[in-house]
Amino acid sequence: MSRFERRALVASPTPAAQTAAAEIADAWDWVSPDDDPDLIVALGGDGFMLQTLHTMLERRRPAVPVFGMNLGTVGFLMNEWRRHGLDERLTRAKPFVVTPLSMTATGIDGRVHQRAAINEVSLLRETRQTANLEITVNDRVVMPELACDGALVATPAGSTAYNLSAQGPILPLGSGMLALTPISPFRPRRWRGAILPDKARIGIRVLDAGKRPVSAVADQFEVRDVRQVDICMDRARELTLLFDPEYALDDRITMEQFIA
């Protein structure tokens, strides 16, 4: 008997994912994602996987594992799409636990927004003027003023995404670290960021928030005109991704360091 008797199927609205979903829809008895599944099978790309994981967090079901199959472009967080052999693949699947970030963004208007981020929390200037940011770690000011296009905090799972494009470090899974990376720093020009313990509490205050507006983005959720953003790990809402044994997510993240 499979350890995942109650399976839910979700698919991206793209034609490729919808076609794949139709191909396997009659092969198993699927339940609704809202009907307490033991497992969710997600068909799509990395963006759809992030959307699926965020939906689970919003519905307070982070413990349900997700097995993704790639019908997108890159598919870094996905397994290979195959129509047949799903039962055997799920029996042999290897779990990886991903811990999201918690972002608390306070706007100029005083409103507070809380969101989770699986890849990264990023702050970005909204106008042609550079952003001026003050950075604290565990309530200690470590960067009194950073003039830049923005800054981001990335998890190990997200360190090969936007963080890598911003010249940030790749963090191995299980490293217990976070990447704090500036985006196009102007002053201090030579600062390339920091690697911090994942227990750290990171605060980013926007200096001259009215004159130099900044937005904050937690994966796909944006808050505009922020004055303070606080970031930490949210261990109460850990997520589990399932991968084929031959697809070692941790090894793939490590090998990204050797790709030219």
> Does 5 carry a binding-site annotation?
no
Residues with catalytic annotation? 46
> What is the pLDDT at residue 224?
97
Find the mean pLDDT for residues 121-149: 97
CA dihedral 44, 47, 48, 49 (to 10 degrees): 90
Lowest average pLDDT, out of 4-18, 39-53, 76-90, 240-254, goes to: 240-254
> What is the pLDDT at residue 149?
97
> Does 119 carry a binding-site annotation?
yes
* CA distances for 54 relative to 95, 148, 213, angstroms: 18, 29, 27
pTM of the entire predicted model: 0.90
> What is the pLDDT at residue 2?
58
> Does 176 carry a binding-site annotation?
no
> Does 46 carry a binding-site annotation?
yes
> Does 116 carry a binding-site annotation?
no
Determine the Cα–Cα distance for residues 229 and 215; give it in Å rounded to an integer.
Answer: 10
Q: Tell me the DSSP string of the chain.
A: --S--SEEEEE-SSHHHHHHHHHHTTTS-EE-TTS--SEEEEEE-HHHHHHHHHHHHHTT-TTS-EEEEE-SSS-TT-BPP-SS-HHHHHHH-EEEEEPPEEEEEEETTS-EEEEEESSEEEEEESSSSPEEEEEEETTEEEEEEEEESEEEEE-TTTTTTHHHHTTPPP--TTS-EEEEEEES--BTTT---EEEETT--EEEEEETTTTS-EEEEETTEEE-SEEEEEEEE-GGG-EEEEE-TT--HHHHHHHGGG--
Does the domain made of 101-234 have the CATH classification 3.20.20.70? Answer: no
Nearest partner of 126 among 39, 59, 215, judged by Cα: 215
Give 260's pLDDT tier (boundaries 50, 70, 90): low
CATH of domain 7-99+238-258: 3.40.50.10330
Phi, psi of 212 (to 5 degrees): -120, 80
> Does 138 carry a binding-site annotation?
no
> Does 158 carry a binding-site annotation?
no
- Residue-wise pLDDT tens digits, 24-76: 998 888 999 989 899 999 999 999 999 999 998 887 766 899 999 999 988 88
Find the mean pLDDT for residues 188-211: 95
The encoded tokens of residue 117 equal 């981020």
Round the average pLDDT of the chain to a whole number and report it. Answer: 93
Cβ–Cβ under 8 Å, residues 123 and 216: yes
Taking the domains of the chain in order of start, what are their residue ranges? Answer: 7-99+238-258, 101-234
- Residue-wise pLDDT tens digits, 233-249: 999 999 999 999 887 77
